[in-house]
Chain A
Amino acid sequence: MAIMYALKSSDNEIFEVEQKVIEQSETIKKMIEDGAATGEIPLQVSSKTLAKVLEWCKQRQHKTVENENDDNKGKRKKERDEDDDIKEWENKFSDELKADKDVLFDLLLASNYLDLPALLSFLCQLVADMVAGKMPEEIRRMFNIENDFTPEEEKAITAEHGWAFQP
């Protein structure tokens, strides 16, 4: 029987998760090893975000288990099919995040806090693809960044590399 842990979100929702799934998070793994994880594990992550984190972890876990059970015969074909499945799943996951940027940034911070390198790297690539080719003003809005240049400074810095602002 799989060992289950209870994760508590910042808005007090409880998630029952298998140890193997949640151990992908180095932060939680360490908490379990240190014996700090008795009863509910409180996390500074909202329930909406935590649900997304677990969605990712379960998919990854699923993938690892299948690979372990593989024998070598016909593996290449199977791997290819699996790769297609994963791609499809990742595309769906990305589309959902692109549609809700609050969740995306929330998840970015959560993956950092929970120490999930694969998710962090996946999200960084997603954000990079989203921002590439965009104009500074769009990025400021997206990241909620204040423009601290004076108009003169901004004009100068833009003029310095005018070619970079061409579409």
Chain B
Amino acid sequence: MDIRKQEIPADIVHDIFIRLRAKSLMRFRSISKNWCNTIDSFPFANKHISTRVAADEEPELLPLSYFPGVATGNEHSFIYDGNVIKESDIPILEFSKDGNYVHNVAYGLLCFQNRNFLGRELFLCNPVRGEFLKLPQPLPATLGNELYYEVMAWYGIGFDSTTNSYKIIQVRSFPTCINGFPDWFLDRNFESQVYTLGTHSWRLISSSVSLSSQVRGVSANGDMHWLNWNNKIEQASITSFDFKKEEFMETPLPNFGYKQHYKKNLLINLKGFLAIVSFPSDQYIDIWVLKDYENKEWAREYRISTQVWAREQDNTCVIRSDLCFWENKNFSVGVCSNGLFLEAYSYSRIFVVDLITNRIWYMECPKSYRSFGRTLFSYTGSVLSLRNFGN
């Protein structure tokens, strides 16, 4: 039996394709009409991205400016191959206009806002496809005046596997007003709305929420998660948004087993799982992973010494005995293949927490990596076409 004359069944081709990077797939679209259709199909794109987030060579690190308007020109993502930090070969964004601000990145999609003199417009972008989708204007605020500059907004991207739909959540908070004037000492008001890709408008969500300022949400297990800090009771919690039920809920924190300043925890998506980077002392960094999302079971997967290592031609050496995460409040974390990137605003270097060697490396960055004033996102390329949701 000459098998090669026999066609490989479609489900096997699928099974092979979901293991490939988006770059290979974009190239393989030109093999034949059949292969092109497979790669372009909506169910395939969904299966592919959900498989890829757990792949060894994903995600890539995407540092983007947190100053609106600074992101201009070509933005790159980066990979850490276990030795050096390199520019990725997937194009990210060519910002042609000033005033772009990326709110969040998930499922290979960037959700960003363009602010110009005409107003604010919200977009989704898939860099792999080079496609942009303009989203409808969010509903006007019912609880506060949108003109106050103190209005804060959080955005998240989710996937509802029961309806196979992508959704965007927006949470806004407004200062409480007394006689028309904001009172900064009162609790803020929160309002949230959801937009399902492919529909015409946003929908207000009745489920109530309260988020700490300046905390960007993390997408994991299809839902969004924010690390919350309650100043009054000095307690941390995780607020999650369930995209299936379209309601907020609390995800319990791990039982750390040690006293610590919860405020310093960082939330990440590690290989598709929700995870927490915690700093129990100046000796260690711990990484807790929510292994069982349904039953909310956490496990401490990594404990890494805070010794910082440097690579010098063919040998390695310890350059400092501890990296004082403990003392520093402002850390930004990004996940990439093989490890985590830690950026501290008071340091001008990049620290890579290598999860293969269990070491913290002090790393040189490529020239195109500007480390100042950036937010670190994780990015996994998707072949999803935004044409599925309109032009």
Contacts and interface: CB of A to CB of B under 8 A. Distances in A.
Contacts of A44: 1
Interface string A66-81: 0000000000000000
A29 B36 CA distance: 37
A132 interface: yes
A50 to B, nearest CB: 11
B27 interface: yes
A86 interface: no
Contact of A133 (B9, B24, B91): B24
B19 A124 contact: yes
A106 B23 CA distance: 28
A148 B32 contact: yes
Majority DSSP secondary structure for residues of A touching B: helix
A26 to B, nearest CB: 15
Contacts of B32: 140, 145-149
B317 to A, nearest CB: 28
Interface stretch (A15-23, A52-60, A159-167): A159-167
Size bin of chain B's contact surface:
35 or more
Given A131-B24, A148-B33, A105 B1 contact: no
Interface centre among A46, A140, A161, by most chain B C-beta atoms within 10 angstroms, is A161
B3 interface: yes
Contacts of B8: 105, 108-109, 143
A127 interface: yes
Given A46-B1, A102-B4, A112-B12, A149 B30 contact: yes
A138 to B, nearest CB: 10
Given A120-B12, A132-B20, A132-B24, A106 B30 contact: no
Nearest to A158: B30
B130 A106 contact: no
B284 to A, nearest CB: 21
23 contacts: A102-B2, A102-B4, A105-B3, A105-B8, A108-B8, A109-B3, A109-B6, A109-B9, A109-B12, A112-B12, A120-B12, A124-B12, A124-B16, A128-B16, A131-B16, A134-B24, A136-B31, A140-B31, A143-B4, A158-B30, A164-B23, A164-B26, A165-B27
Interface of B: 1-6, 8-9, 11-12, 15-17, 19-21, 23-24, 26-36, 89-91, 128-130
